Every structure is written in C-alpha cells, then in structure tokens.
Chains A and B, each alone.
Chain A
Amino acid sequence: MTAFARVNPVAKLAAALLLAACLVLTIDPVSAATALLLTGIALPFIGPGWRTFWARTWPVWVAAPLTGLTILLYGQASGTVYVEFLAVRISDGSIELAVATTLRVLAIGLPAVVLFSSVDPTDLADGLAQVWRLPNRFVLGALAGLRLVGLFIDDWRYLELARRARGVGDTGRIRRIPGQVFALLVLSIRRGTKLATAMEARAFGGAHRTWARESRFGAAEWLVVASGALVGAAAIVAAVVTGEWNFIAG
C-alpha cells in the first residue's frame, strides 16, 4: 500500500470537493487546463500504476469528449458560424465552449476517480463518523447495508432464471420488471430486518460507543486537502491573469 493509499479517505473527499468547487465557478479552457496539468504532475505521487489508471478512468475519457461534442453541435453560437444544419450550429463560440467543457469534465472527473480508487468503504465510514462526526447509526448502518448489495445482485439473477423455469421467460421482459422488483424488495426487506436484528443484538445503537480502529487526521491529511485547494486556486489565478475568467453566474 502506498503512502497515499493510507491517507484518510475524508481528506481525499475534501480535496476532490474543493477542487471541483473551484472549477465549477468558471467555464474557460485556461483554468481547466491548469488544473489538469497540475493533477498530471501530482499523479505519480498519488497514483495507481498506469494500467490501473486507464482501467479506472476510461469512462471519464469517454464522457468528456461526448459532452464536448454535444456542446459543439448545440452550444450557444457566437462569432463565425461554420456549419448550420437543423438545430446544429457550429460556431467560434460553440467550439471554444466545447473545448472548455471537455477539459473541465476531465479536470474534475480524473482527480475524483484517482483519489477515490484507493478508498475502502470501511475506512471512509470510520472517517465520516470519527473525523466529520456524522451520526454513527447512519454511517455504520449504511456500511453494513452496502454488504447486502452483492446478495441483491445474486437474487436478481435467480429471479431471472426462475422466470424462464416457470415458462414465462419468452416475452415481456420489460413487463416483468415491476414484478421482479417487488420480489427483490420483499427479499431485501427481509434480509435488512435480519441484519438489523443481528446488529441490535450486538448492542448497536447504545449511548456510548468506542472505535476499534482510530481514524487519524494528521499532517498527511492536511497536505492532501491543501493540495486540492492549491490546485483549484492556481487554476482560478491562471484564468484571471490571462483574462479568460468566465464566471458561471455572470
């Protein structure tokens, strides 16, 4: 495990949120490009290997140009119009907006995915409850519930097979969905109730609770949060200095 992977997940969450908060204030290519560049420089220090990096981030690489393409075709037109066809209008304005949007999706999406790819749900829950002091009933309940997701997927698979076995699997796949959802709901309520009983029987929900694992928030965590804020701030400064600052509400 790398040093970065051991950093408290709430610090990573805070860093990603701070960076995103800075980048949604403006739509311009400079701020997003700056943030991307700085993230790229930081990547070797925080990151997974390249193979893992591409495996985790490919949806972002697909989503970003697609978003850009939409803006390119339908975005607000200004300046020279190059192509006009039905509702499609490609112009200087829409090209600039498309580039800015593509970069922005990458600049927000990539760090978020990279920061979170090393997060373990248990550690995150510890951090949320101990560092951010969210109610432990809520946090631990959600954490325990998360374990049931795998069981629901199995249930769904069996529900499908059972429809085929019962002779009603040939048609109406869509029409059967509400029935299957209902069955899944019944099964999940039953599972959830049992889990809740098991938790209650182990004294969950009492007044005073201790933590077997300490969730630490020290220098390394502050460093990660500060880095996120710095990258965001640098992006804003770069945009303002180059005169590209384009406040979203303006």
Chain B
Amino acid sequence: MDGIDLDIRPGERVLLLGPSGAGKSTLLSALAGVLGGADEGEQHGELTIDGREPDPAHGRVGLVLQDPESQVIMARVGDDVAFGCENLGIEREEIWHRVGEALDAVGLDLALDRSTAALSGGQKQRLALAGVLAMRPGLLLLDEPTANLDPDGVLEVRDSVSRVLEATGATLVVVEHRVDVWLPVVDRVIVLSPEGGVIADGDPDAVLVDHGETLAASGVWVPGREAWSPERFARPGEALLTADSLSVGRAGTVVRSEIDLELREGVATALSGANGSGKTTLALTLAGLLPSVAGEVAASDALRAGIGPHPYRWKSRDLLTRIGMVFQEPEHQFLASTVRSELEVGPKAQRLPEPEVRDRVDQLLQRLRLEHLAEANPFTLSGGEKRRLSVATALATRPRLLVLDEPTFGQDARTWREQVALLAELLDEGSAVLFATHDRVFVEALADQEVSL
C-alpha cells in the first residue's frame, strides 16, 4: 500500500473497495492503530485521527473484523461488551450502563451472563459491534464484517450498523466485496489500486458506473453484474449415491433426520439452510466420512465398482476415485510442503504410475492457474489460491462425485466465477456435484436440484 491521500470528514460513511492485495485491510489496521511498530514493516507519510496518531488506547476508533470466532474475547455476553470499557479505565457503574445501551443498539436481547460460545455467527458479529460501541468511538472500522455469515446474519449486522450510525452520527469505513449489502448505508466509495494510490473516490453510484468494469474484473461484486450462469451441455446420467430416510449427526446426537435424495451423474445438488441446520454434517456423511445415525447412504453399482455399498465402510484409498471432498477450510486438508506434492498425494495413494501422476498434476496446475506456485508452500497461498488448490487436490484422482462444503465462503467475485465455471465443466464431463452453501447466487447459477434443511 503506497501513495494514499485521503481526507475523511466526521459523519461520512465510506465503502472501501479494491482487489485483493490492494491493502484495504492494512489501511483499516493502520487507522485502528493495530498495525504494529516499525519492527513489523515500513511506514512513510502521515496518518492522523482527530489530528493525533492512531492508538487504540484513545478509544476513538472501533474495529470489527471478518471472523466471528476470533472476536469473541470473554465467555459471557456482558463481560465481552464490557472488555473495551475496562481497558479504557472507565468507572464500573458507567461500564454497565454502556453495556446495556450497546446491546440495545445492536438489537441483541440477551442475558448478560449468557454464554458467548452458544451464539450464532450473526449474533457474534453484533456482539463484537456492541463491544466496540460501548467504547463510544467516533470512527467505526469494519473489515468484511459479513463475509462469513449466512444471508440472515448479513442483514442483521448491516441493519445494526445502520441503526447505530443514525443514533450516534459516527463516521464509518467499511471494507466489503459484496457492494450491494452496504450500498444503502454508505455515501462515499473509495477504490484503492493494487499499484498504490486511489483509483476512484466519490458518490457511490457515480463510482460504480464509471469504474464498474474494472471493479468487477478485480473481484468486487458490482451490483447488477453478478447474475451469470454458465451454459451446460450434459444430461443427467446414472444414479451414483442415494440417501434413504437418512439421519445425520455427530457422536450419536441427531442433527437432521428423514433425508431422502439421489445424486446423479451430471447433476448439481445444492444443500441449503441456515447456520447449524446440519448442511456440513450431511455433506460429510454423504462423502463417506461420518457414519449415518439412522437410515442409509447407498452407492449404486456404477459408483461402487466392485466394492461394498456403504461409503463410510470403504477404505480411505477407495474413496479417491469415487467421492472427493472439499472442506470449507482448505487448510484442514493440506498435507504436503509444496503445491506440486500436495497434488501428488491422491494419485500416489492411488498407486498410479509415475508419468501418469506427473501428467495429471501438470494439467491441474495449468487448469487452475497454479503453475507459478508449484513449489510454494500451500499454507502461504492467498485465500483464492488455497481454495483453487483444495479443489484441485480432490480433482487429481478424478472422483465421480465431488462434495464441497461452503465453496464460496468469503470469496471475491473473480474466484467465485472461476469456481462456477470449473464445476460446470466437471458436470459436463459427467461428474456429480454436491455443495452445501448459503450463497443464493451460487445456487441459482449452478444447482439442478436443491435440498433445503
């Protein structure tokens, strides 16, 4: 990030846009005063808030981050909201007064001693917002606060922010790929360039019209541009996997029961439903990774190819060519120290001959634009690259059924489109695809059938 000249006036509501790597999060961290000292990086120029250097101890700035899990600090709702006030050295009586006010402001009607672990993602984000509000900041900084939430959670948080701004007149700077969510709230859009500096700055509508194309190309969800669904050619083929009055759960606790579905070649199936409705558990059960609690998951003769009918009883190696699983968190499935060897894991476990392994890996590297990263460590890739690699690892053994858990969570528009295109290609080649998702646009772009939990 370099060469940024900005002047944000009190009460302005700014949406900060730009491609991945343009330094949006870095700018927010700098504004919040949590960027670290000179030993952690270089800094030129000047950044002031109310004419002073940013410092969290002033309590002028409140920052809410993307991941709900990593923002809950204390075990009880009231304590969590009080945490910032305590750190600012505010008197006890005043703290509890503010805690009540902040919880009201974000619309969280919860007992103060309620456990924070039991809250939904949307509630956790509103709790983080309340914790920040209790500090009475003049500037609210939100770093993709709704990227990890289901559609209801997104609106909950957006509406809370908008109410709070009305009530307090605080200044807002929000970073978010999904422009349509925040458009009703903001009155200024600033676009950062990856090369440094500011590309555009001004009225939201004007900026989006003038720079819509550039923004869309760089991964921003420009309203009106996302509706895109790939052409598909394949017809439904043979049935591969059926679930018959299936109950799924973990450690004997039933999360969802009476599920019937059939997965066919060339057919994309969407599992939808709110957080906690059992989408992931069902996906893992169908993928042969969790045992069913009751009922049955049965593979057809076509999928079994000579082994037993129940995927959960298959050997790990037998899953490779039959069912591939892409986890929500790509890091959970990385095993190797380079991208190339990561892709070789499956084909080698399958005991394919060396030249065949090399061919497949080369093809995948090229197809998923990972060639230049072949020798990089998977853990060091960017979010979009990690996602592509995790899909590629499953594709390397050419499974006939591919199961994906929240494949579009927190993805920018560009990675999203690539993913849709890739899955459409797989479907055309005759694979079956099943995905658990919150993403309505994704469902509409790709799904042939939908199971709502």
Contact = CB atoms under 8 A, between A and B. Distances in A.
Given A158-B327, A170-B315, A165 B287 contact: yes
B67 A203 contact: no
Contacts of B410: none
A202 to B, nearest CB: 4
A245 to B, nearest CB: 45
A41 interface: no
Nearest to A193: B70
Between B78, B99, B289, B320, the greatest number of chain A beta carbons within 10 A of the residue's beta carbon is seen for: B289
A210 B57 contact: no
B59 interface: yes
Contacts of A208: 89
A194 B86 contact: no
A121 interface: yes
Given A144-B74, A166-B316, A203-B88, 12 more contacts: A162-B327, A163-B316, A164-B316, A165-B325, A167-B346, A187-B329, A187-B331, A198-B63, A201-B61, A206-B57, A206-B87, A211-B86
A169 B135 CA distance: 49
Closest 4 CB pairs of A and B: A169-B316, A194-B70, A202-B84, A167-B349
* Max count, chain A CB within 10 A of own CB: residue among B78, B99, B332: B332
B70 A191 contact: yes
A53 interface: no
B96 A212 contact: yes
Nearest to B336: A179
B22 interface: no
Contact of B128 (A155, A161, A198, A212): A198
Nearest to B287: A165
Nearest to A169: B316
Give chain A's interface secondary structure class: helix
Contact of B397 (A167, A191, A194): A167
Nearest to B67: A194
Nearest to A205: B87
Interface in B284-337: 284, 287, 289-290, 315-317, 319-320, 324-325, 327, 329, 331-335
A203 B87 contact: yes
Contacts of A164: 289, 316, 319
B262 interface: no
A165 B315 CA distance: 10
B83 A204 contact: yes
Contact of B84 (A120, A159, A203, A207): A203
A5 interface: no
B337 to A, nearest CB: 10
Contacts of B217: none
Interface of A: 120-122, 143-144, 147, 150-151, 155, 158-159, 161-170, 179, 183, 186-187, 191, 194-195, 197-214
Contacts of B91: 210
Nearest to A213: B79
A212 B79 contact: yes
Contacts of A144: 73-74
Nearest to A192: B70
Nearest to B327: A162
Contact of B346 (A122, A159, A166, A207): A166
Most buried by B among A169, A194, A200: A200
A152 B52 CA distance: 40
B32 interface: yes
Nearest to A121: B75
A202 B132 contact: yes
Nearest to A191: B70
B393 to A, nearest CB: 7
A170 B317 contact: yes
B164 interface: no
Interface string B32-57: 11100000000000000000000011
Contacts, number: 160
B360 interface: no
A36 B63 CA distance: 54
Nearest to A151: B69
A209 B92 CA distance: 11
A124 B319 CA distance: 48
B270 interface: no
22 contacts: A144-B74, A162-B332, A163-B316, A165-B287, A166-B316, A167-B316, A167-B319, A167-B346, A170-B316, A170-B317, A186-B331, A191-B69, A194-B71, A200-B56, A201-B62, A202-B73, A202-B83, A202-B135, A203-B56, A203-B87, A209-B86, A210-B95
Given A161-B289, A179-B335, A198-B128, A203 B57 contact: yes
A164 B323 CA distance: 11
B332 A211 contact: no
Contacts of B95: 210, 212
Nearest to B83: A202
Contact of A198 (B71, B317, B333): B71
B316 A159 contact: no
Contact of B65 (A121, A122, A159, A194): A194
Contacts of B65: 194, 197-198, 201
Contacts of A194: 65, 67, 70-71
A99 to B, nearest CB: 41
A164 B332 CA distance: 12
A195 B59 CA distance: 18
Contacts of A187: 329, 331
A201 B72 contact: no
Contacts of A162: 325, 327, 332-333
A212 B34 CA distance: 24
A200 B70 contact: no
A212 B87 contact: no
Nearest to B280: A158
A147 B75 contact: yes
A197 to B, nearest CB: 5
A161 B96 CA distance: 44
A160 B8 CA distance: 48
A168 B342 CA distance: 12
Contacts of A159: 332
B76 A122 contact: yes
Contacts of A201: 32-34, 56, 61-63, 65, 132
B170 to A, nearest CB: 15
A34 B132 CA distance: 54
A202 B87 contact: yes
Contacts of A155: 332
